[in-house]
Structures are given as structure tokens and as C-alpha cells.
Structure 1
Amino acid sequence: METDCTRDDLPVNGVTAALPFGTRLLHIGPHKTGTTAVQGSLFAAKDQLPEHGVVFPAHSRHPMEAALAACARPAMMGDTAPTERHWTRLLEQVGAVGAKTAVISSEFFADAEDDDTIARIVGQLGGEPVHVLVTLRPLVRIMPSQWQQYVQNGLRMGYEDWLTHMLRKAPYEQPTPSFWRRHRHDRLVGRWVRAVGPRRVTVVVVDDRDRSALLRTFEQLLGLPENLLQRVPDAANRSLTLAETEMLRNLNKEFRGNGLPDELYSKLVRNGAVKHMKNACSPSPEDVKILTPEWAVEAAAAIGAEMTRNIGDTGVRIIGDPGLLSAVPRTAALEGVPAPRISPEVAARALYGALAAAAGSPVRHTSPAKARTVHQTSSKELMRVLGHRCLKKLRRR
């Protein structure tokens, strides 16, 4: 008969054996590895999980602020800075789980930089019961998705230029130092192995050909009935097309060039224009995707092969096909890539999203009129005045 002490052994007969009851399963991502799908499905099944001995202790789908606070990382551009209270509240919710299994999931745990921070997080979550789960996808698939996400957070650098910095310009840290902290996956796994040991780390290789496989793996690890976890549609989490990303990247240049406040970017751009555009517009087959040049694909595949070997040497449990992490995708040859062009509908949706966000905090004109008229003021100065007025209203709220 199987006992709790053997439930975290290697997969049995092709089925992943469940973790011991009372485990604190810490899913650390990293980014762009199916984290949103997992978090959405767990949160949707939150009320059903306890009858199977599992709890998802969070008030929202993704306890991002708690993870950022735990890792001492800053918020996204313009967002409110996380506080220690966010992390303390999540710890209190985990503590209230008792003997049941708790699942904590945030890709921002992958941003923990040093061994001391990781050891503190593990200790505060209970120490011995903590089991770390890392989900991985091929680096070549992560790069375009991560670049457009950086653009959504204010990046102004084009894709190929960014790839050059990440792959060819040592020490490969600028302009996005978080990229290799998250996606040098062998070092990421190694940092957490040093905290909990290899037997308490599981790596799941995500197979993009079977989108339900990741949820089935979570069910098996948690001892849940098959198909309890279901995908939850989330248009707001889709990646931007090349045209949408380029539109936003050029807007970022204008935004920075006019010295507007970060808080305005968070409200009007990321949570206004971009959010509404993603929710209201679905990419069509004609939309140009973000294409990675062949030199970068080959470099990413080579790094993926090296990382796979190093992860294997750590002795952690690996679920899935590690060979996928260094596979080179086969794509049809293209006779020239068409220039990305944003459709009028997408542009209108984005503009409406920004206007709707601005309307949520209307500016009251209580100050006396200036001597100059609008037509006598430069557009740069008008943008700066508008930005500071909106920021002032945001701070009042």
C-alpha cells in the first residue's frame, strides 16, 4: 500500500504520483510558462478544492503583490508599490490551511535573486512541507512573448535589438536584467534546490501541443479528480501582435520623451488602452506575429540544451520531455515579412480604453484660466500639463 512518505517518488506507470498531504506547493513559474492558465483554473475551482484536501489560499487569481513583497522586487511601472503586509496576509492564509495541501502560485517568485531571500521565503511558508514546482517552456518560444510583455511595461527597444543585447552583448543584463534571472532556467532551479533539496523540486516541461496536459499534471500532483481543473478564457492575458507591440513601443517613446509620470502610464496605457484592446480585439490570421530571426533561434536552442543538461544533473524530478526545451521549431520559409500595420479598429479600441480610463477620474477645472490659450501652448507642454493634472487626481483618489 502506498503511504504518504512515498507519494513524491517518480511517476508510476506513466502517472505522476501525488505529493504528500499537507504539502505547501510553491509554483514559481517562471513567466510565460502557463502560469496564468494554472492560476485561473485553480481560482475557478477554489470552492471545490477543499473537499479533496487542497486549498488555494488567495483572495485573487494571482497574489502578485505578495510575491513581489516577498522577493523585495518593485511593482510594475506606475503601479502601487507592494508592502510587507501583502506577503504577511498571504502567509496568514497559508497558515490557516492546517493539515490540508496549499497551492501558492506566482511567476514573480522566480525573481528572487539570492539564496538568503529564497531560504527566508521557504522558512516563512513552513520549511519542510514546501515543495517547489517549476514550469518550463523552450526559450525560443519564451523570447518573443517576454519581449512584448516588457514593452507593455514601458520598454522602447525593438525586438531584434533586444535579442542582440540578451544574446550577444555581455554581460547580457540590459535593458531588462530580469530576463536571465527568470529564464536562465538551470540557475533558477539550482537556487531553489539549494534551499529545499532536489527531492522537493519538480520541473514540469510544458508541451505546447497539448494545452490541457499542464492542468492534468497539477491534478495528479495534488491528488485531484481528473478534469476538475478547467481552462478559464482570459483575453486580457493574450500576447500582443507585432503591430500592436510596435504601436505601443512607439507610444512608449513619446511617453518617456515628454516626461510623463509612471502612474499615468499604469492607468491610461497598460490598464486602459492595452487592456481594453486585448479584451476587445482578437488577432486574425492576417496579423503578423513576432518572428525570431534564425540566428537567435539557434542561439536559444543551444542555451536550452545546456540548461537541460544542467537541470538533469541536479537530480530533481522532471515531468515531460526535456528534449522540448532545446527543440528548434519548424516554420515555413517566408518570402519577406510584411510590415506590421495596426488596423483602424484596433487603434480605436486602444484609444477608447485610454479615454475610458481617464474618464474614471475626471479632472475638475477649479483653477483660474491662464493668460495663454491652448493654441499658444506647445503640444509637448500640453501633454506634460495633462499628465500632471491626471496624476494629481489619481493621488487624491
Structure 2
Amino acid sequence: MAIHDPRPRVFLHVGSPKTGTTFLQDVLWSQRETAREQGLLLPGERFHDHFLATLDVRGLAEDPIYPERARGMWDRLAEEAVASDGNVLISHELFAGATAEQARRAVAALADRAEVHVVVTARDHVRQIAAEWQEHVKHRSAATFARFVQEVRDDHARTSWFWQVQDYAGVLERWGVGLPPEHLHLVTVPPSGADPTTLWDRFARVIGVDPAAFDTELERSNSSLGAEQAELLRRVNVELGDRLPLPGPYPLVVKNVLAHRILESRGGTRLSLSAEDQKYAADESRAIADRLAAAGVDVVGDLADLVPTPVTAEAPEEDPYAVPPDAALLAESVATIADLLVVLNERRAAVQRADDLTATAQEKPVRFALVHASEQRPLLRKLRGAYRAAKERRSDS
């Protein structure tokens, strides 16, 4: 007869970046009450607190460039988690960057009072290498795609950020010390072309919620850039020099507006690895999949999802790392400037509208209350929400 464990079950979704984490987090946090009705607590005031907790766990919270609120955030989330009477999810992909000792201390804050599970979402490295390069460019990197791929291949010691967070077996090893294998869950991202809800269905099963109870038709964020858009952003990073630092204004202005709002919405040439590099990536994925199988962790999906069949070039291939021609980048630059002007005008109009409402409220408060308050309440709520989101993004990343 099975013995019921009265302690809460805490799921630590610790990575990895570029494996559908933003989509999964958006589904849950946009429907937080539904999650609670399903018996799943998302601790903290908002998702941003989970980012701040990654800073705390990784020893970065004391740095004055980060919000003071980050200090002690892990312990606050942990205390809320262990006080729960059901399932709890703490989720952010940057936990994957924690060292073994940092991960051990984080789990120790929970282990005596909760049943701890570690979850890693994983995708094949043929797609991951290109995706990670784009993410580095969105975080101010000026490295070309060719240079980035070569640095990944040359890192035999596995000390770079890429291998720290993309060696899925290593992430589970660091975070799973002392936990039984059945408490370590690897959720595989299905191959390209698969139903996009498959990943959600797999993840929902692990954390104990009914996947059908949630709306997954959300606006997708953190999508891929085409080769032209990524190269344009890389050149902007070079031109910026020391201006718009990171951390600081760069995520708010460049990443969230230029990259996510404008460049992601435009078409472009799909980034791909050379045939030789695809074989390298597939071989590395296979080696990691073998380590996961030997460790006996709970695989939700199929380890075969991590090992795509590399392309065999029957004829000399075009150089996939060739920089887009200047004519294409010029056209992309002009279109991007036009889109930026539209965004600036939208924001100017919103600020002007808010200023007008403030002036009316100050100069004619009774009239404002009688005529404008009820009809402007949704706009004011929207403006306050946009302001709060902007503050969070300013301190994120």
C-alpha cells in the first residue's frame, strides 16, 4: 500500500534556454488562476520574481546593477513553496547556468520540507546552436554566426555558457544530486513540423495539470530571427559601442523593441548549420542522450527527438555562414527604420493621451470624474500594466 507524502511537490524547471520555455511560462502565468484551480501554485508576485531568483541562486543578486529585490528572492520563493499544500512550479531557464554547489544549496532550501522534482526541457543541438547564437546577439553579442559555431566546437572543456546550459545531462546532474532518478524529468521538444501543443502536453503531464484546461493559442514571443535580421542586429551591437549597456537600457530598447517587436515579425533566410556542423551537433546530441538513458531519468517524449538525422550534402553546398549581401541589409535597414518610427509614434501618442488625461483630472477634477473616469479606466489600467511590464523588462536579462 502506497504511503501518501503530505509534503508539497515542488517542480524546479531549470532549463534549458531556447527549448520552448517562454511559451510554457506564458501559458501558465497568463492563466495563473487556472493553474491554481488545477492545484498548481506559481509562487511570487509575478514571473519576474523567478528571474530574480536565478540571480540570487547564481550569486549575482548583490551586484548593484541588478534590482535590490533580487536579494533573498530564492529563499522567499522557497518559503512560499514549502508552505503550499499542493504542487508548486518554479520556472526559469537561467537556473541552468548554476554551478553544482549553487544548485545543491538551492535544492537544500526545499528538500527537508518538500518532495523536490527537477525538470529540464531539451531540444536537438542542430536547432539549438543557431537558436543560441541568435539569443546571444539579442544580448549584445557582436560575434558572427561562423565564429559562434567554431567556438562551440572548440570548447572541449565545456566551460562556455552554451555547454553550461545546453548539456542537458550535465544540468540534471548538477541539480539532481541526492534526488532519486524518478524525480528527474527530461521533457523533449518534438521535431520541427510537429504539433506545437505537443510540448505543452508533455510538460503539463509532468507538473500534474490537465493540458486541455489551458488556452495555448497565445501570441508567440521570443521567436527566431532570419539571417538578414540577425546580421543587422549584430551590426547595431557593434555600432552601439558602450551606449545602451546590458544590464541597463539595452533589453528594453534593443531586445524588446528592435529584436522582438520589429525584426522577429519580418521574414528572412532561415539560419542553418553546414552539413559538417550538423553531423557534429547530431553526434553531440546522441552522446548526451546516451548519458541521460544511462542515468535512468524520467523521459517524457522520446530521446530520439534529440538526435535528428543530419543532412548529407550530395553536391557542394552554399556557405550557410556567408554574411547577407549589403543590398539585402540596406533594404532590411530601411524597412526597420520605418517600423521603428511607427512604434515611436504609437508610444508618443500613448504618452500624450496619458498626459492629457492627467491634465484634465488636475484642472477639472469633477468633470473628469463624471465624464471620463469610467470610459478611461480600461486605458489607464492598460497604461499602468504597460508601465509595470516596462519596469520589469528594464531589469531583466
Which TM-score bucket, shorter chain as reference?
Answer: 0.7 to 0.9
- 8 Å CA contact retained: 2:202, 2:301: no
Alpha-carbon distance in 1 for matches of 2:175, 2:244? 39
Any gaps of 5 or more consecutive residues in structure 1?
6-19, 362-393
- 8 Å CA contact retained: 1:111, 1:182: yes
Any gaps of 5 or more consecutive residues in structure 2?
352-393
Query: Within the alignment, does 1:71 sit opposite 2:58 as a pair?
Result: yes
Judging changes above 3 Å, is the alpha-carbon distance between structure 1 residues 47 and 289 closer, same or farther for their aligned structure 2 residues? same
Alpha-carbon distance in 2 for matches of 1:73, 1:328? 39
- 8 Å CA contact retained: 1:31, 1:182: yes
Q: Out of 171, 184, 188, which is 2:171 matched to?
A: 188
The farther-off stretch of 190-199 and 164-173 is: 164-173
Match of 1:131 in 2: 117
Once the two structures are superposed, the pairs formed by residues 100-139 of structure 1 within 5 Å of their partners are: 100-114=86-100, 116-127=101-112, 128-139=114-125
The farther-off stretch of 202-211 and 325-334 is: 325-334
Judging changes above 3 Å, is the alpha-carbon distance between structure 1 residues 81 and 360 closer, same or farther for their aligned structure 2 residues? farther
Once the two structures are superposed, the pairs formed by residues 182-261 of structure 1 within 5 Å of their partners are: 182-208=165-191, 209-256=194-241, 261=245
Alpha-carbon distance in 1 for matches of 2:238, 2:129? 22
Q: Out of 289, 293, 297, which is 2:270 matched to?
A: 289
- How high is the TM-score relative to the length of structure 2? 0.74
Alpha-carbon distance in 2 for matches of 1:343, 1:305? 40
Alpha-carbon distance in 1 for matches of 2:348, 2:70? 26
**How far is 1:300 from its partner?**
0.6
SS of equivalent to 1:194 = coil
**How far is 1:239 from its partner?**
1.9
Alpha-carbon distance in 2 for matches of 1:92, 1:161? 44
Judging changes above 3 Å, is the alpha-carbon distance between structure 1 residues 95 and 111 closer, same or farther for their aligned structure 2 residues? same
1:347-396 CA deviation, whole Å, 9 max, x = no partner?
422466579889999xxxxxxxxxxxxxxxxxxxxxxxxxxxxxxxx99x
Match of 1:27 in 2: 13
Match of 2:386 in 1: none
Alpha-carbon distance in 2 for matches of 1:215, 1:50? 17
Judging changes above 3 Å, is the alpha-carbon distance between structure 1 residues 52 and 265 closer, same or farther for their aligned structure 2 residues? closer
Q: Out of 319, 331, 336, which is 1:346 matched to?
A: 336
Alpha-carbon distance in 2 for matches of 1:355, 1:86? 37
Judging changes above 3 Å, is the alpha-carbon distance between structure 1 residues 171 and 81 closer, same or farther for their aligned structure 2 residues? farther
Judging changes above 3 Å, is the alpha-carbon distance between structure 1 residues 352 and 274 closer, same or farther for their aligned structure 2 residues? farther
- 8 Å CA contact retained: 1:29, 1:135: yes
Instruction: Return the letter of the residue paired with 2:202.
Output: T
Instruction: Return the letter of the residue paired with 1:152.
Output: K
Instruction: Return the letter of the residue paired with 1:23.
Output: R
SS of equivalent to 1:131 = strand
Once the two structures are superposed, the pairs formed by residues 1-397 of structure 1 within 5 Å of their partners are: 4=4, 22-62=8-48, 63-73=50-60, 80=67, 83-97=70-84, 99-114=85-100, 116-127=101-112, 128-168=114-154, 170-171=156-157, 173=159, 177-208=160-191, 209-256=194-241, 261-262=245-246, 263-278=248-263, 282-284=265-267, 287-328=268-309, 339=325, 341=329, 342=332, 344-350=334-340
- 8 Å CA contact retained: 1:301, 1:327: yes
Alpha-carbon distance in 1 for matches of 2:92, 2:38? 22
Alpha-carbon distance in 2 for matches of 1:235, 1:244? 18
Alpha-carbon distance in 1 for matches of 2:218, 2:62? 25
Alpha-carbon distance in 2 for matches of 1:86, 1:296? 40
Judging changes above 3 Å, is the alpha-carbon distance between structure 1 residues 305 and 82 closer, same or farther for their aligned structure 2 residues? farther
1:311-335 CA deviation, whole Å, 9 max, x = no partner?
1111111121111212125599876
Alpha-carbon distance in 1 for matches of 2:161, 2:346? 32
Instruction: Return the letter of the residue paired with 1:238.
Output: S
Instruction: Return the letter of the residue paired with 1:189.
Output: L
Instruction: Return the letter of the residue paired with 2:163.
Output: W
Alpha-carbon distance in 2 for matches of 1:159, 1:75? 33
Alpha-carbon distance in 1 for matches of 2:345, 2:56? 32
**How far is 1:188 from its partner?**
1.6
- 8 Å CA contact retained: 2:279, 2:310: no
- 8 Å CA contact retained: 2:275, 2:310: no
Q: Give aligned-pair identity as a percent.
A: 25
Judging changes above 3 Å, is the alpha-carbon distance between structure 1 residues 149 and 354 closer, same or farther for their aligned structure 2 residues? farther
Alpha-carbon distance in 2 for matches of 1:239, 1:184? 21
**How far is 1:72 from its partner?**
2.0
Judging changes above 3 Å, is the alpha-carbon distance between structure 1 residues 169 and 36 closer, same or farther for their aligned structure 2 residues? closer
**How far is 1:27 from its partner?**
0.9
Q: Please tell me the root mean square deviation across aligned C-alpha atoms, in Å.
A: 3.4
Instruction: Return the letter of the residue paired with 2:51.
Output: M
- How high is the TM-score relative to the length of structure 1? 0.74
- 8 Å CA contact retained: 2:104, 2:174: no
1:67-110 CA deviation, whole Å, 9 max, x = no partner?
2212224799x76577323333323432442x211111111111
